[in-house]
């Protein structure tokens, strides 16, 4: 089996998770992942020492695939150098998600879009990725028309600083100390914050909410899809949850949805509410699959074209690191690297 030289830009929460996933899935690595960051240093990652090199325009020579888990401006700065070096760039930032020249991919949703890549593939926003794992199969079967969503997004969505802040607030509260607020707009412990990313002052949706609309339209090749979303930060360490009201062109029953989803890679139906069986972030944490449940007919409608559904998925894993590694796997499978 051919081995591949893989690089990683960024060693935060997502970058660390990417290394973990590469190892778990026995990705055909040619030696260790070469890690890049803002400065050269030795760093302990998952109990192993990595010699981290400075990320610059000259660092990608000899690499086949480079996973980007850093900031948007770094991805923009280094894109041309990565492509020129002949490496496939898989970027987790927002930099290229709406670029018409860059495929935006969840492998279980639209792997065929990898075929027209020009060296760069974008990883979607984790909230969109988790939703589409469960919604795309239903769309393919019944024709999705409209989505109304409310998200319950974990502290991990703000990276390691967000995780640390929630944990620090819990510890401080237990000791009777003052709670420090830095990573979020307000105290997160014992609170919900209906504010993720910047507000668009034209319509007062946040950029996070608009990503859900624009990224879903692009990946589903569905430019007329209607989607309205309210994104909420919740005091959960990791794993996002979403309440979804779905409207379809054709009739669909809860039994239809369960049957469709039960056959899908990347989704596990957890829908036994009388016995406490429904998706929860605690159960989705550190799991590859998106959990889908609370599937029921929308009783506000007079037809059978509406469903309610609740999903949970690990934001760092399913929504980011795993998706990026699966993109790399599919590039190899399709002979594109």
Q: Which residues pair with 52 in a beta bridge?
A: 41
In this prediction, residue 179 has a pLDDT band, given cuts at 50, 70 and 90, of very high
- On whether both 76 and 134 belong to a single domain, the answer is no
Catalytic pick among 59, 231, 240, 330 = 240
In this prediction, residue 35 has a pLDDT band, given cuts at 50, 70 and 90, of very high
Mean pLDDT of the chain: 97
- On whether both 177 and 293 belong to a single domain, the answer is yes
What would the pLDDT profile of 203-228 be if each residue is shown by its tens digit?
A: 999 999 999 999 999 999 999 999 99
- On whether both 65 and 166 belong to a single domain, the answer is no
Q: Which whole number is the average pLDDT over 235-244?
A: 97
Residue 330 has pLDDT above 90, yes or no: yes
Residue in the block written with tokens 């890690």: 35
Residue 30 sits in which domain range?
A: 6-124+320-333
- Which pLDDT score, from 0 to 100, does residue 182 have? 96
- On whether both 97 and 139 belong to a single domain, the answer is no
User: For residues 257 and 307, is the Cβ–Cβ distance under 8 A?
Assistant: yes
Active site residue 82: no
User: For residues 288 and 296, is the Cβ–Cβ distance under 8 A?
Assistant: no
- On whether both 61 and 171 belong to a single domain, the answer is no
- On whether both 199 and 303 belong to a single domain, the answer is yes
CATH number of the domain within which 255 lies: 3.30.360.10
Query: Does residue 56 belong to any structural domain of this protein?
Result: yes
Tokens for 251? 């009739």
- On whether both 50 and 153 belong to a single domain, the answer is no
Residue in the block written with tokens 């935006």: 104
Active site residue 126: yes
- Which pLDDT score, from 0 to 100, does residue 302 have? 96
Residue in the block written with tokens 């260790």: 32
Q: Which whole number is the average pLDDT over 155-178?
A: 95
**Measured distance CA(54)–CA(70) in Å, rounded:** 13
- Which pLDDT score, from 0 to 100, does residue 1 have? 85
Backbone angles phi, psi at 4, to 5 degrees: -125, 140
**Pick from 243, 335, 250: which is nearest to 296 by CA?**
243
Query: Does residue 61 belong to any structural domain of this protein?
Result: yes
- Which pLDDT score, from 0 to 100, does residue 97 have? 98
pLDDT > 90: what percent of the chain?
Answer: 98
What would the pLDDT profile of 78-97 be if each residue is shown by its tens digit?
A: 999 999 999 999 999 999 99
Count: domains in the chain: 2
Residues 6+ apart with CB under 8 A from 175: none
Tokens for 295? 């599937």
Catalytic pick among 59, 82, 126, 229 = 126
- On whether both 139 and 216 belong to a single domain, the answer is yes
**Measured distance CA(90)–CA(66) in Å, rounded:** 6
Q: Which whole number is the average pLDDT over 50-60?
A: 96
Tokens for 187? 């105290």
- Which pLDDT score, from 0 to 100, does residue 24 have? 96
What would the pLDDT profile of 252-294 be if each residue is shown by its tens digit?
A: 999 999 999 999 999 999 999 999 999 999 999 999 999 999 9
Query: Does residue 1 belong to any structural domain of this protein?
Result: no
Within its chain, how far is the Cα of 296 from the centroid? 25
- On whether both 115 and 220 belong to a single domain, the answer is no
- Which pLDDT score, from 0 to 100, does residue 56 have? 95
- On whether both 159 and 303 belong to a single domain, the answer is yes
CATH number of the domain within which 32 lies: 3.40.50.720
Helix (H, G, I), strand (E, B) or coil at 231: strand
Output the pTM of the full model.
0.96
Q: Which whole number is the average pLDDT over 24-48?
A: 96
- On whether both 19 and 86 belong to a single domain, the answer is yes
């Amino acid at each position: 089996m051919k081995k591949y030289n893989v690089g990683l830009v960024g060693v935060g929460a997502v970058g660390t998770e990417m290394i973990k996933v590469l190892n778990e899935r026995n990705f055909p690595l040619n030696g260790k992942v070469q890690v890049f960051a803002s400065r050269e240093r030795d760093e302990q990652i998952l109990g192993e020492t990595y010699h981290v090199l400075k990320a610059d325009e000259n660092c990608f020579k000899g690499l086949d695939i480079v996973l980007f888990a850093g900031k948007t401006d770094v991805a923009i700065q280094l894109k041309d150098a990565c492509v020129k070096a002949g490496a496939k760039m898989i970027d987790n930032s927002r930099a290229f998600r709406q670029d018409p020249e860059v495929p935006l991919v969840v492998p279980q949703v639209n792997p065929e879009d990898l075929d027209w890549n020009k060296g760069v593939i974008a990883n979607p926003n984790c909230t969109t990725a988790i939703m589409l794992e469960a919604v795309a199969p239903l769309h393919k079967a019944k024709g999705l028309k409209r989505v109304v969503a409310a998200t319950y997004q974990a502290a991990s969505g703000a990276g390691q600083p967000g995780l640390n802040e929630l944990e620090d607030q819990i510890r401080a509260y237990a000791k009777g100390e003052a709670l420090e607020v830095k990573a979020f707009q307000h105290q997160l412990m014992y609170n919900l914050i209906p504010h993720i990313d910047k507000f668009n002052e034209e319509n007062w949706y946040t950029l996070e909410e608009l990503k859900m609309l624009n990224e879903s339209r692009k990946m589903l090749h569905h430019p007329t899809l209607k989607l309205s979303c309210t994104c909420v930060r919740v005091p959960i360490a990791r794993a996002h949850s979403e309440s979804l009201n779905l409207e379809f062109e054709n009739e669909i029953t809860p039994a239809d949805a369960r049957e469709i989803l039960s056959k899908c890679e990347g989704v596990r139906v957890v829908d036994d509410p009388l016995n406490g069986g429904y998706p929860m972030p605690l159960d989705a944490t550190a799991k590859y699959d998106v959990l889908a449940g609370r599937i029921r007919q929308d009783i506000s409608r007079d037809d059978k074209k509406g469903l309610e559904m609740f999903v949970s998925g690990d934001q760092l894993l399913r929504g980011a690191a795993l998706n990026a590694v699966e993109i790399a796997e599919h590039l190899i499978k399709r002979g594109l690297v």
